[in-house]
Amino acid sequence: MSESTEDLKKYVEGEDGIFVIRGGENCRGWNGIRYKAGMSSKNVGSEKLSMNVATVPPGGVAYAHIHVGFEVMLYILKGRVRHEYGKGLKKVVENQAGDFIYIEPGVPHEVFNKSDTEPVVAVVARSDADEWQNIISYDRKSES
C-alpha cells in the first residue's frame, strides 16, 4: 500500500519546528514489511533523516536489497530476526528484542522473521529522508 505525501501529513501535529506523530497503527508497506506513518521528508520536511516502526509479520521476509548511499540503524522491540548478508548473502547474524543493528550503505541483506507465530517489531532510523526510495533489489545469485 502506498500513500501520498498529503496522506502522510495527516498523522502529524505541530508547527514552528516541532512535529509529533502520536502512536498509530501500521498504515503502509514495502517489501513484505508493514510500517507506521513515521517521519520523513514526506510529512515533516526532514532533509537528512527518516524514522519508522517496522513490523515483519510471522514467517515474513524482507526480500534481498541494498540501501544505496545511506546508513540504517535498527532497534528490535519484539521478536527474533535473521539477516543473511554480504556477497551472495552467505553471512548470517541473528538478533532479538533489545538488540541494536547497524547496516552500512551498499551491504546486500535479506531479513527473516524467525517465528511463525510472532511478528518482529523494530524502530528503523535512516540517514535518508526519502525512506525506501533509494533501495534496490539484490539477487543472491549475482555474486555467488
Q: Tell me the per-residue pLDDT of 98-136, one tens digit each, with 9 for 90 and over.
A: 999 999 999 999 999 999 999 999 999 999 999 888 999
pLDDT confidence of residue 1 = 39
Q: List pLDDT tens digits, range 24-67.
A: 889 888 888 999 989 999 999 999 999 999 999 999 999 999 99
Q: Record the cell numbers describing residue 31, joined without a space.
A: 517489501
Q: List pLDDT tens digits, range 61-98.
A: 999 999 999 999 999 999 999 999 999 999 999 999 99
Which domain range does residue 118 map to?
A: 5-143
**CATH number of the domain residue 12 falls in:** 2.60.120.10
How many angstroms separate the CA atoms of 9 and 32, rounded? Answer: 23
pLDDT confidence of residue 2 = 47
Q: Record the cell numbers describing residue 104, joined without a space.
A: 552500512
The residues near 131 (Cβ < 8 Å, ≥ 6 apart) are: 38, 40, 42, 50, 52
pLDDT confidence of residue 3 = 52
Identify the three-state secondary structure at position 88: helix
Count the domains in the chain. Answer: 1
